[in-house]
Chains A and B, each alone.
Chain A
C-alpha cells in the first residue's frame, strides 16, 4: 500500500514554496543547514516513521500500558523508538550545538514531529515530551542539573514529563498544593534540595519501562510561598535519584494508578504520589516562585505541538479515507439509470468529495498555521529589538489558535474520515476509528479549549496595548494584497477583508461590553470568539498557500505537479465557500445582546 499517513508533497510545498525554509540557512544561526540536508532529514524521518512508528499503531492501541507492582509496562516499541530518537539525534534536534544538538530550525523539528505523530501519535509523544522537559532544564536549570539530566534525557535513556495537574486544582494551577520544603532551611537558591510531597494526576508517560529513569518537571509551592500563581516554583524530581557516584536509588515517587482512556492508548497517563514516605527529593529550577513563568516557556511550544498532533492524526485519517474512496465502488452517477453499469468508485460522488475536501482543507490549513508559528519562532530566534518583539507577539497571539483550531476541528475531520468508510469506518477493522478516538484528547490536554479562549481574549489580545493584533492584521493585509494581484483570488481576498471588518466590529463591541459590564460579560463567549478568530486565521493561511500555488499551476512541468496545485486551488475555494462563511454566523452570535450563559443559573438546568 502506498504511504498515506502523510503527504510529503504537501510538506515540501509548505516548507519551501510557502514558507521558504531554505532562506533561514542564510542566517549564521542556521548556516550549517541547507536544502539538501533539510530534504535528507525529512526523508530519514519518513523512513523511521514508516518502519518503526506506523507498524505498531494498532498494536499499541490494542495492548495499552499495564500497571504491575507499581511499574508501568509499555509496548516494546517505546524503548526502541526512544533509543532511535536519542541515538539518532531527534530529541536534541532543536537544541544548540553547545548541548550536542543539531540547532535545526523549528520549522523542521516541527515537521519531523508532525510526521512521527501522523504515523503513531502515542509513540511520538515519548521523545518529544522528553525534549520539552530537557529544554526547561537547559534554559533555566543550573550547571549541575544540566550535567546530570541532559545527557541521559537527550539520548533517550530517561523520560521527561511535565507534572502540573492536581486532583483538586485541574486547570486552575493557582490552587495546587504539592509542597516543597527546603532540606536545609537556609538554602533557597537554585539547585538546593527540597523535600517534595503531593499528588499529581494525568501525567503523560509518568512512568514506564521503555526507559531507565523518569524525570518530572514538577510544579510545587515552597512552604510559606505567596498564594496563587505567584507562589509556584519549578522542580526537577526524578523517579530514581542519581547519587554522586552515578548510581540511582528510588526517590519515593509512586504510581498510584494509570487511566483507562478513550484513545491515545499507547501512552500511559499516570497518577503519581510524591513523598509518601517523606523521602522524595527535588531540585529547584531557577529562582523560587518563578515556576509558572518557566513552565509556560515549555507550555507554549507544547500547545503548538498539540495542535500539530491533532492535525497529524487527522492527516492520517484523511489519507486512509482518500485511499478507500478511490478503491471502493458503490452506486452510480445520480442521473444514470442503467443498473447493469458497473458502480463508480465513491470518490466520484459529489458528497464524498465534499467530505474529502473538508478534511483536506482542514488538515492542510492547520498544518500551514502550525508551520507559520514555527516560522515565527525561527524568525524570533534570528532577530533583535522591535523585529524580535514582533515575532514573539505574533507567536504568542497565534498559540491558542494553533492549539485549538486543529484540536477541535480534528474531531470533525476524523469523523468525516469515518463517514467516508460508512459502516466499516465505525468498526475497528480500519484505522479511522482509532484516529477518531486518538484525536479527542487534544482539545483537553495542555490547556483546554475554554482556557485557550480566555488566554486569547483575556490576555493575548489586550496585553502590550494590543500590539500583537496590529502585527497580525498587517500580516493578513499583506497576504490579501498579494492575493488581489493574483488571477482567480480577488474574490477570496475581498471575502477575507470583509471578515477582518467583522473582527473589528466584534472587538469594538466586546471592548464596550468589557467597559460597561466587566470581565465576566467580556469573556463569557471567549470560546466562541476563539472559534471565530480561528476560522479567519485559517482562511488567511489558505490564501497564503493559494498565491504561490496559482503561480505554480500555470508553469508546472509535470502533470502530477499541475494536479497538486489544482488541488490546492480547489481546497482553497472549498474553504472560502464552506468554512469562512461560518465566521459570519459566529460574529452574529458574538454581537448578540442576549447572555444566556451568564443569566442561566445552576438551578435552571
Chain B
C-alpha cells in the first residue's frame, strides 16, 4: 500500500510571534519551525498502516521554501520513506486553493492508494487544503478521523463530530484528515535521524509537474489578508459600587448598557 501524507511546516506554537503590520503577515525571522502537529498524526497513521501491512511506502509531500526541507527530513526521521518538496517562488503567496492545486499536481503523478493530511494547520487554521486536494483529485474525503480500519479496497473511518462520532465508509483511493486522538505520534529516533539523511528527498518546480504558474501564487489567490493585528490588550476590571444588592444590580445593568454596550 502506497500512502501519501501532506505535510506543512508551521511556526512552533511556543514561538513569540511578531505581527508585521505593513505587510499584513507574521514576522517569521525569529520563528522556530516545526511540522504541523496534526500532520504528525497523519504521518504516524501512515507508518502504522505500512507496518501492519508489512509492505508499501510512505511519501511525505510539502509545498514551501527551502526551510520546509527540515520538516520533511523530520518526517523521514520518524520513518517515512521518501519526500517531495515543491519549492517554487511562483507558488509563494498562494491561498489554500493554490496550494491544493500544487499538491494535487504532484500527487497525480505518483502511484498511491491513500492520502492522509492533518485536519488543520495550526498557523492559518483554514481547514481547506486537504478538502481542496481531494476535490482536485476527485477522491472521496473524510475529515477529522479519530480511528480507521482498512478493508479490501475500502476504508472505514470514525469521524469526530460535535457530540459523538460518525462511522463512514469510503472506497480507496481516498483522502482522510487526521484529528487529535487518532494515535500518539512517535518520536524521531537517533538511528532514524541518521538514516533520514540518506533517504530520497526530491525537489520539484511547478514546471516539473506541468502546472501553469499563473494558476497559483499571489496573483490568482481568491483570498487576501488585508490586515493583521494582535488582540487588544485586556483592560483592568471595574468594581461596581452601591449600598444595596438592588443598587448594585441597577448600576451593573447601566454599565452593561452604556459602557460595554452589550445589552
Contact = CB atoms under 8 A, between A and B. Distances in A.
A40 B193 contact: yes
A151 to B, nearest CB: 15
B196 A40 contact: yes
A517 interface: no
A276 interface: no
B74 A40 contact: yes
Contact of B189 (A37, A51, A89): A89
Interface in B93-140: none
Contacts of B30: 558, 560
Contact of A32 (B77, B187, B194, B196): B194
B188 A44 contact: yes
B191 interface: yes
Contacts of B191: 89, 102
Q: How large is the interface on A (under 10, 10 to 19, 20 to 34, 35 or more residues)?
A: 20 to 34
Contacts of A37: 193-194, 197
Interface string A201-212: 000000000000
B8 interface: no
Contacts of A41: 190, 193
A279 interface: no
B187 A44 contact: yes
Nearest to A561: B30
Contacts of A90: 190
B48 to A, nearest CB: 15
B244 interface: no
Contact of A40 (B14, B16, B29, B77): B77
A88 B14 contact: no
B187 A48 contact: yes
Nearest to B15: A2
B187 A40 contact: no
Interface string A479-504: 00000000000000000000000000
B73 interface: yes
A157 B26 CA distance: 46
A61 B191 CA distance: 32
A36 B77 CA distance: 12
B73 A36 contact: yes
Interface string A90-126: 1011000000001010000000000000000000000
Contacts of A32: 194
B238 to A, nearest CB: 17
Contacts of B189: 44, 87-89
Nearest to B78: A44
B124 to A, nearest CB: 21
A34 B194 CA distance: 10
A168 interface: no
A217 to B, nearest CB: 24
A36 B196 CA distance: 10
Among B77, B187, B197: residue with most chain A CB under 10 A: B187
A40 B16 CA distance: 21
Nearest to B77: A40
B19 to A, nearest CB: 15
A32 B194 CA distance: 8
Contacts of A558: 29-30
Interface string B159-201: 0000000000000000000000000000111110110110000
A560 B29 contact: yes
B93 to A, nearest CB: 22
Among A3, A40, A43, A44: residue with most chain B CB under 10 A: A40
Q: How large is the interface on B (under 10, 10 to 19, 20 to 34, 35 or more residues)?
A: 10 to 19
Nearest to A92: B190
A88 B79 CA distance: 12
A51 B37 CA distance: 13
Nearest to B73: A40
B85 to A, nearest CB: 15
Contacts of A43: 74
A329 B158 CA distance: 49
Interface string A530-566: 0000000000000000000000000000111000000
Interface in B232-261: none
A509 interface: no
Interface string B70-102: 100110010000000000000000000000000
Given A3-B14, A43-B74, A560-B29, A36 B187 contact: no
A93 B190 CA distance: 7
B29 A102 contact: no
A365 to B, nearest CB: 25
A428 to B, nearest CB: 25
A47 interface: yes
A8 B32 CA distance: 10
A73 interface: no
Nearest to B33: A43
Interface string B12-40: 00111000000000000110100000000
A84 interface: yes
A44 B77 contact: yes
Contact of B14 (A2, A34, A44, A102): A2
Contacts of B187: 44, 47-48, 51, 84, 88
A1 B190 CA distance: 28
Given A2-B16, A3-B14, A44 B29 contact: no
Contacts of B193: 37, 40-41, 44
Contacts of A51: 187
Contacts of A104: 190
Contacts of A47: 187-188
Nearest to A87: B189
Contacts of B77: 40, 44
Contacts of A1: 14
Nearest to B74: A40
A155 to B, nearest CB: 12
Interface in B189-247: 189-191, 193-194, 196-197
A41 B197 CA distance: 12
Interface string A33-53: 010110011011001100100
Interface in A56-110: 84, 87-90, 92-93, 102, 104
Contacts of B188: 40, 44, 47, 88
A558 B30 CA distance: 8
A1 B16 CA distance: 10
Contacts of B190: 41, 44, 88-90, 92-93, 102, 104
Interface of B: 14-16, 29-30, 32, 70, 73-74, 77, 187-191, 193-194, 196-197
21 contacts: A1-B14, A2-B16, A3-B14, A34-B197, A40-B70, A40-B73, A40-B74, A40-B77, A44-B74, A44-B77, A44-B189, A47-B188, A51-B187, A87-B189, A88-B189, A89-B189, A89-B191, A93-B190, A102-B190, A559-B29, A560-B29
Interface of A: 1-3, 8, 32, 34, 36-37, 40-41, 43-44, 47-48, 51, 84, 87-90, 92-93, 102, 104, 558-560
Given A32-B194, A34-B197, A89-B191, 15 more contacts: A36-B73, A36-B197, A40-B73, A40-B188, A44-B74, A44-B193, A48-B187, A84-B187, A88-B189, A92-B190, A93-B190, A102-B190, A102-B191, A558-B29, A560-B29
